[in-house]
Amino acid sequence: MPPRFPRGFFDAPAIEVAPALLGQYLVRVTGDGPELRARIVETEAYEPDDGASHSFRGSTPRNRVMFGPPGHLYVYLVYGLHHCLNVVTRSVGEGSAVLLRAAEPLDGLAGRDVCRGPGRLGKAFRADRRLDGQDLVAGSTIWLERGARLAPDAIEAGPRIGITRAIERPWRWRIAGDPWVSR
């Protein structure tokens, strides 16, 4: 089994962790089905001073995991329908995370588009608020594993999707030309 990332990998700004997560693996074990595995191909960063971030107005019951230790999973419900997966970054009290937007299905996932888009990725990995706060470094339910390190020119940045504030920040990253990215 490939190594996981150490806690310190996540104790950094989301704008650094987001591109570094491209090409890495998301793994999930459920009570019944097979192990799920996918390769991350698209991410977005949300920072503490970022008007588009849930953490912008401080800690609340919903987003408190964002203000906890790095390397944990933040799961929230959007539009009353979809659960999105985020990786908490930066140190305790800062409020920063990386949204996982798309991945290449590998093991235990049927269908071309099941991981294309944050809502579908959450559904494919059977995420809901019960997964909020899971430890991605030392937990045994959902975690991240190291994949190949990508060359800088294999990564491209662009504007974030679906937000109405801080739209000028080019904080979405994806693997250039990858067939599994969203949209």
Partner DNA sequence: TCCCCGATTAACT
Partner DNA sequence: GTTAATCGGGGAG
- Contact footprint for DNA (CB under 7 A): 44, 46, 52-55, 57, 60-63, 66, 74, 76-82, 84, 86, 97, 99, 113, 116-121, 160-164, 182
Nearer to DNA, 63 or 134 (CB): 63
Q: Least Å distance between CB 153 and DNA?
A: 26
Tell me whether residue 52 or residue 154 sits nearer to DNA (CB atom): 52
> What is each CA distance from 155 to 30, 81, 98, in whole angstroms?
31, 30, 16
Beta strands in the chain (DSSP E): 25-28, 36-46, 73-78, 82-89, 96-107, 142-145, 155-158, 172-175
Alpha-carbon distance 105 to 6, whole Å? 24
What is the spatial distance between Cα 24 and Cα 41, in angstroms, rounded to a whole number?
A: 8
First to last CA, the chain: 32
In the bound complex, what is the minimum distance in angstroms from residue 10's beta carbon to DNA? 15
Q: How far is the CB of 18 from DNA (least distance, A)?
A: 11
* Shortest reach from residue 156's CB to DNA, in Å: 18
Residue 24 or 63: which CB sits closer to DNA? 63
